[in-house]
Structures are given as C-alpha cells and as structure tokens.
Amino acid sequence: MKGIVFTELLEMVEDQYGYALVDTILDQSNLPSGGIYTAIGTYDHAEMVTLLHSLSQHTTTPVHELLRAYGRYMFGSFTRNYYQFIERSTSAFSLLNSIQHYIHVEVRKLYPDAELPHFAMEQPSENHLKMYYQSERKLSDFAYGLIEGCLAHYGETATIRKTELTADGSQVLFDIVKD
Amino acid sequence: MPDNDIDLIKRRLAREKAARLQAEAILEKKALALYNANNQLQHLNDHLEQQVRDKLGELEQSEQRYRQLIESVQDIIYKISPRGYFTFVSPVVEKSLGYTEAEFVGTHFTRFVDDDYRKPLTDFYLAMMTEGQDSTYNEFPIRSKDGRHVWIGQTVRPITVDGQIVELVAVARDVSDRKLAEQELAKARQVAEEAQRAEKQFLTNMSHEIRTPLNAIIGMSHLLFDTQPTRQQREYIDILKTSADFLHSLISDLLDMTKIEAGRIEVSPRPFDLAGLLRATQKVFEIKLHNRPVTIDVMHDARISGDFIGDDVMLNQILMNLIGNAEKFTEEGSIQITARIVQEDDNRCWIEFSVTDTGVGIPEDKQGLIFKKFRQVNPQGHKYKGTGLGLAITKELVEIQEGTISVRSQNGQGSTFTFKLPYVRATATTDNRDAGNPVLKTVGKLPVSHVMVVEDNLMNQTYIGSLLTKWKIPFTLASDGKKAVEEAKQQRFDMILMDIQMPIMDGYEATVAIRSTHNPNQHIPIIALTASAMLDHKSLAMEVGMNDFLTKPFEPSQLLNILERYAPTAASEAAPRKTDPSVKPKPTLPADDVLDRQRLFELYGSDKEHAAEMFATFLDDVVPELLQLPDLCTDQNWSMLASMAHKLKPTLGMVGLSRLEDELRQIERSLGQNADKEPLVQRCQALVEEVTDLLPVLRNEIKTLSPKA
Ligand code: HEM
C-alpha cells in the first residue's frame, strides 16, 4: 500500500486528536516498518489494518466510521495534490465515472506497484449512478468517504445506499441518487 | 515543557528524520532509475533521429534523382491544379518555351494559350477532372515567350487521393515540327488533288471538245446515206464514217485507259438482269452484222435467270470490247457467246463468260501480248484497225471486279476469250431498280408518241431530229437541262433522251430534278446520251436515276433499239385498243402487209436460215398450242390460259406477227385484271382464227427463206 495512504491517515489523526495519539498508536502497534512512513514509499497493507484497529480502540469509534471519515479527508487532499485529474470533470458523476478508466489508470502509471480497486459503473438515468466496488483489501468504507468527499467538492448532495454483495465485504454496491 | 512532551517531540523528530532518510534513499534510487531511463531515452532518441536523418537523406537522394530525371527528359512534365493553375513545371520548359519555372508555377494555363484554344483546352481539362478518364492525349498551340506558336502534344493523367482528383499530371512535348510537316503535307495533297481535278476536268473537256464535232461527222455521214448518193459518193461516205468511228474509239479507249490507270474507275454493283443484258448485246451486234455472213449466238446456263448483283455497265463494256474484237477479225462464220455458272455458294456466284469466234485466230507466240497496251497482233497489219487498247482495258475491267480473263486460240481457227466474274444472286426483295423502269419490251412496233430530246449541240440536234422524223416519232427539243426540267412540267413524254454535258444545267442535275419533283414525267424512262464512252459517266448516269445510256456517236439502229426497249407498254396507254372480233382480216393480204418486216430484219438480218428455222418451229410446235386457247377459255381454266398466253406471246413476234403478239398481251393483261371473262372467249377465238388464216402466208415465207427456193 502506498505511503501516502499512511501519511494522510496520520495527518488526519494529528489534526483531530493531536500528535500524542499518533505517537501512542505508532508506539503500541509493533509495526514492521517501525512506524516510519514516507508518502513515496510502499508498505504492507496489514500495517494499515493494525493502525486502524488501534485507532478505533483509542477513539472508541468503529473502524468503518474511521475509514469513511478518512475517505472524505483523502478526497480533500487529492484535490490539492492531484488537481489535474479532478479539473477534467465538471460534476461528481462524471468524476466517479472516470476513476476506473482514467484516474486509477494514471495512478498506476505514477506508481506501478499501486494496489487499486475495480469499479464497474452503471448509470440508469441522469441522476442515478451505480458503482460496483471490488477489492481484496475490502476498503469499501474508504470508497464511501471518497464518494462523499467528491460530491461535497462539486457542491452536490445525493443519497448513497451501500449494499454488501458478499459477506467478506470484497464486493459492494453503491447506489447513488442525486437529490 | 513537561518531560514527556519533550520525549514526544524527540520521538517525532526521530521518526521524521528516519522518514526523510528513507524518502531520500528512495528518491536516490528513483533518480538513478530516472537517470538510466533518461539515458535510455536519449539513446532511443538518437537512434530515432539517425533513422529520420537516413530516411531524409534517402528521400533527398530520390528526390534529386527524380529531379535529374525530370530535368534530363526532353518532354515537359507539369502538374496543374483542378482550378487550372500550374503547380509544377519541369525546368526544360525554359528551353522550349522561354518561360522560367517560376513564371509558370502559380499562373493560370489560359495565360499561355491563344483565345481560340482557351475554350477547347478548358473543356479538355474539365473533362479530365470530372469524367475520371485515365489518360488522354491532345494537341494545341501555346504562345512562347518570344511570341512564336509552339504546338504541344500532351498526355494528361489525373492524380487521385481517396477517389478524389487532386491534380493533373501531364507529359508534354513540342510537336511543332510534325505539325508543320502535316500542314505542309495537307497543302501538298490539296495541290495534288487540285492538279488531279484539273487533269480530270481537262480530260473531260478534251473528250467533249473532240467528240462533239466527231459525233456530228458520224451523225451527218449516216444522214448522207439517206440522200440517194451515187455509188462513188456512198464509198466516200463509208470511208468518212469508218475513219470517224475509228478516231472516236481511239479517243474513248485512251480516256478509259487513263482513268483506269489513275484508279478512278470503281465497281458500282446493282441488281440487273444478266440474261437480258446478254440478249441485248446480241441484238446490238445482230444489227451491226446484218449484211455480213457472220452470225452471233448466245447460249447461257438455265440457272442464269433473275437478277444478279454486279456492275452491269462494266460487263456490258467487256462484252462489247470482246465481241467487237471478234467481229473485227471474223470475215465469215459465227461468234458465240456463252455464260455458265461455274461455282456458286451462299455468297457468290462465279459466272464464266466466253466469246468464241471463227476468225483469223492469234498465233501462239503472240497470245501473251494481246492484253498488253498498244499491241496489235493481227497478221494483216493495217487491215484491222484499232487502238491496241481494247483488250488491255477489258483485262483491267475484269480484274477490277476481281475476275480473271484468258485467251485460247489457234492461228486460222478462231479464238476464245474466257473471263470469270463474281456476282451475287439478287433475292426478289433486293430488286430495287427504279419503279419507273419499264418492262423490257421486245415488240417491233413503236408506240412511242412523244419524245423529248435534250441536247445543246446543233449538229446532234439535227441528227437525232432527222432520225426521229424519219421514224415518224414526234419530239420536242430542249437545248439545256433547265429548259428540259421546265418542259417536263408542261407535258407528258414517253421518254427523254438526255445529253450529259450541257450549259446552265447538265443532264445529271436535270435528271435529279425531274425524278425528285412532282411532274408528269417523274417516272418515265430517261436515256443518257453520254458524250463519252467513259465508264464512270455511265455509272453516274445510272446512279442519278437514268434508265440507260446511249454512247455518242450511235448508229440509227442503236437509238431505235433503245426506243423499242423503253417504249411504253400498252398498259400505260390511256385508251385500250378496241378490237372488233367480227371484223376478220383478209387472209389473202400479201405477206409484206401482214408480217412485221422491220421486226424480222432486226431479229434475223440476213440470216435466212435462222429465220426459216424459227418459222418452221413456230408452225410445228407453237401453232398446236395456240389452237388450245379457246378450249381453255371454255373450260374456264384461267390460270392455265394466262401462263399459255405469257409463254406464246413472244413467239408471235418471232415470226413477225407483231399485231397478234399485242393482242395476246392484251388478253394476258385482262386475265390479270380480274375483269369480265366473257369477251375473252371471243378474243381467243378470233386470235386462233386469224392465226389459222395466216398459216399459208407463214408456210410461203419458209419457202422464200429456204436456200433451195
Ligand atoms: C484524484 C482522484 C484519486 C486519486 C489520485 C486516487 C489515487 C489512489 C491511490 C494512490 C491509492 C492507493 C493505492 C495503493 O495504496 O496501492 C488509491 C486507492 C483507492 N482509491 Fe483512489 N484515487 C482517486 C479517487 C478515488 C475515488 C473518487 C474513489 C472512490 C470511490 C477511490 C477509491 C479508492 C479506494 C477504495 C482505494 C483503496 C484501495 C482498494 O480499495 O483496493 N479513489 N487511490
């Protein structure tokens, strides 16, 4: 998993809870990387799972909520760091539609070892979008937050219904209907 | 600051330092990878650039080669846009036209072309652009820089991209030299043709000029015979006439030969009655030979009947020449003409003609020479006069028609000339002879009531006029073609005798005018009086719609023959003759009043034996058949009666019973007209009675004719 995912998470924790909590979870988690992350590095996905569990205990917030909040936070950071990918779209749906065939494609060019999800898209009508998420990393709540962040960025509101298609959470449907 | 805060900061610092080092290490690695990648890229780039350079070099070379090629080619190569502007011109253009490449490129083509050629050239390019033709050649003159006219011959080809014509490419060359040569050639040809025309005109005029007085001499000598000359005068006139005749044939032959040699004689095929032509030829000579012990016979293959397509004028000329030749060398005996089909297939019918005489013959060593020009091979030298051209002309005429001619002869035993000519059998429908062409008439009496003579020459007018007066045939004179056409509108004639060469309007024009406008004479026979024996005149006469021709000078008998042949048949006479069957002719009339002497003379001349034979045949074979006619009437067997009448009709003429022949013709005609049959029975009865009454006269005639008598 790319280092940016770790550094941004820790950034968010520091913003919301202060560096002390960051220090605590890094210290207690006994991580192979020793808790040393740089945005351009690549680290084991398992470390992310460990960090999230630790964070959940200390903040008494469920992991899925943490991930969703992190998704929203992450989209904000994408708009700063990857502005060129976002400015091409003029609406939330158009951006969401472009992840699979454009954004993540470009991401893989930047980071050949990136581990990215697969999205299958369906648009029954102008205001209705269906996103089928599929990934072994089971980070659908992160995706949930990213979608929310995306809508907020374009100043749009929508009702998002999340349906787990498999018990392990590796396949999830987001049914998004704009208000 | 509490201690644990300081520891926290220390830890954070340591972490961040470690992360920085890590990041630097990663970046170092990435930088190297980037450096390597860059190197590789550079390398690739260099390689690519080299390749581009190589390709460019090759391109330049090929372009240079192509340019050298274009420059070395003497032809101008140019490209022109669809709107007519030059986009490329090979430099050689400067050499031939004086303009530089730069003066051409970007300029519209019309600037270099004269007004007259702008439109055709624009049309040419436009056609190339729109019709998608592959390649086209054209020629046009262009104005060079120094104002000369340079003729350009060019092949233009369209260049297409995706099916669209984007420009035209042309290979052009200076063809001025050839054009000049062509123009000069055309001029030369024109001069030559002019000269040829002049020569032909000269020949025609000469022929006319020489012949007109000659015709007068010959004609007048004929008339002189009728002025009761003394024996000595008659002898002089004879010499006069013979010399004039000779002079005339000499001139005709010379002119014919000149024409043949100039290739100006063409075969003009048309349907004609071959057997009829043979009979007519025979007749002409019978008349000519009437007081000489020479007989002339015609025998032809029974398959020669109906019309054949070929040049009858030429055939007539060939026969005239050969028979004339035979007649000249035969003092006594016979001339035999035969015609038989030797080969016939779907397309052609080869007919072999022969003319055999019992004359002096030709020595074997001379036989090879007789068809050569100006060779006379007669042993008696000057006794037989001739131009020495007759046989040479004959041979040419046969060969023009793809035929062959040969001679077989034994000295003192006579000669046989044999020639073969190809004809095409005319089917019934190809008989397109003039509707006005009358049925050949063999009757001796002349029901000609009015003839128009169109002739400008006073001497000829006098000659023909005297003859017609002598035969009691009324005539009207017209002195040129125009007057003839006017006269033809005024009244109906039975026949027109038309001179060819006349002032104001010639005979051809007058004939065309009479034949093509509505007038009472539109379809009547017109006979050309050709002032020359020249074949092309005769052909032309037939082409413009004349029925026959008579070559001047002619013997009175020749004119008589023509008048007979084209005299109107009874059918065209307004009022049918009334015959009263109750009035019987007196059987005791002297033979001379009953028999048509003139007719008999024309038929048999002095050949009494032949005449006697015919009379005997008539009595033995024809009379019994004639006697059956009334029975056929009673039986109402009309078709049989018609065919019998048709068959027997000419036999009456053969024994001088011209009036009865007429009567039988009327009977035959009434049968064809589906008229009331009642009077026919009486007419047949009357006819038979008349024949029966005349039998003693006929028997007596045989006695007179028989040598024993
Ligand atoms: C400018 C826009 C975006 C950029 C630059 C971006 C880039 C990335 C990067 C760098 C990763 C990490 C890959 C790794 O750790 O190997 C990632 C993962 C992910 N991205 Fe995006 N992303 C963008 C938009 C989105 C959006 C709008 C969604 C919303 C559905 C999304 C869904 C995800 C998810 C769910 C993952 C986690 C990996 C997984 O589930 O397998 N991304 N993305």
Half-sphere exposure (CA, 13 Å, Cβ side) for A71? 20
Q: Which of B49-58, B164-173, B266-275, B345-354 has the lowest mean pLDDT?
A: B266-275
Instruction: Write out pLDDT tens, residues B436-467.
Output: 333 333 334 566 678 999 988 777 788 888 88
A35 in B contact zone (CB under 8 Å): yes
Q: Is the pLDDT of residue B46 over 60?
A: yes
Instruction: Select from B11, B19, B30 the Cβ nearest to the Cβ of A23.
Output: B11
Nearest-CB residue to A38 (from B11, B12, B22)? B22
B141 phi/psi in degrees, rounded to 5:
-90, 145
Q: What is the mean pLDDT of chain B?
A: 80
- CA B529/CA B538 separation, integer angstroms: 10
Please state the atom number of ligand 1 nearest to the C-alpha of residue A85: 1
Type and span of the H or E element at B476? strand B475-478
Tokens of A70: 């992190």
Pairing of strands B526-530, B548-551: parallel
The residue among B133, B124, B139 whose CA lies nearest residue B158 is B133
**Which residue in B has a C-alpha nearest to residue A33's C-alpha?**
B19
* CB pair distance less than 8 Å for A23 and B19: no
Q: How far apart are CA B339 and CA A141, in angstroms?
A: 125
Q: Does B22 contact A at CB distance below 8 Å?
A: yes
pLDDT digit string, tens, across residues B631-677: 888 888 887 888 788 778 778 888 888 888 888 888 877 777 766 77
How do residues B158-177 score in pLDDT, each as one tens digit?
888 888 888 899 999 888 88
- Nearest Cα neighbor of B245 from B387, B104, B343 is B387
Encode pLDDT of B256-299 as tens digits: 777 777 677 778 788 888 988 888 888 878 877 878 888 899 98
* A23, A27, A36 member nearest B22 (Cβ): A36
Q: Residue A150: its pLDDT value, please?
A: 97
Could you give the CA distance from residue B227 to residue A25 in angstroms, rounded to a whole number?
Answer: 170
**Residue of A36, A51, A110, A111 to mutate, testing the B interface (most B Cβ within 10 Å of its Cβ):** A36
Q: Which residues of A touch B27 (CB under 8 A)?
A: 40
Tokens read off for B294: 């020479």
CB-side neighbour CA atoms (13 Å) of A146: 19
B58: left (phi over 0), alpha (psi -120 to 50) or beta: alpha
Cis peptide before B120 (omega within 30 of 0): no
Report the run of H or E that residue B680 belongs to, with start and end.
Answer: helix B678-705
Chain A touched by B8 (CB under 8 Å): yes
Q: What are the C-alpha distances in Å from B211 to residues B245, B315, B533? A: 11, 24, 10
Helices (H) and strands (E) in chain B, counts: 22, 17
Which atom from ligand 1 is nearest to the alpha carbon of A113? 16
Which atom belonging to ligand 1 lies closest to the Cα atom of A4?
10
Residue of A nearest to B14 (CA): A36
Give pLDDT tens digits for B608-642.
Answer: 777 787 888 888 878 888 888 888 888 888 878 88
Rounded CA separation B424/B419 (Å): 17
Residue B12 contacts A where some CB pair is shorter than 8 Å: yes
Q: Express each pLDDT in A135-150 by its tens digit.
A: 999 999 999 999 999 9
What is the residue type of B636?
Q
Q: What is the spatial order of strands in the sheet that A171-178 belongs to?
A: A118-125, A128-134, A171-178, A158-164
Q: At B357, which helix (H) or strand (E)?
A: strand B349-357
Question: Does residue A149 contact residue A72 with C-beta atoms inside 8 Å?
Answer: yes
Contact, B683 vs B663, CB < 8 A? yes
Residue B295's nearest CA partner among B304, B303, B286 is B286
**Cα radius of gyration (chain A):** 16
Q: Mutating which of B7, B9, B12 best tests the A interface, going by the most A Cβ atoms within 10 A?
A: B12
Task: Report the C-alpha gap between B354 and B360 in whole angstroms.
Answer: 17
What is the rounded CA–CA span in Å between residue B337 and residue B278? 8
Task: Select from B12, B15, B24, B34 the residue whose CB has the most chain A CBs within 10 Å, as the one to mutate to test that interface.
Answer: B15
pLDDT for B579 equals 37
Q: What is the arithmetic mean of pLDDT over B53-68?
A: 87
Query: Is the pLDDT reported for residue A47 higher than 90?
Result: yes
Which residues of chain B lie closer than 8 angstroms to A23, CB-CB? Answer: 8, 11-12
Give the binding-site residues of ligand 1, using a 6 Å CB cut-off.
Answer: A 1-2, 4-5, 78, 82, 85-86, 99, 103, 107, 114-117, 135, 137, 139, 142-143, 146-147, 150
Asked whether the beta carbons of B666 and B570 are under 8 A apart, the reply is: yes
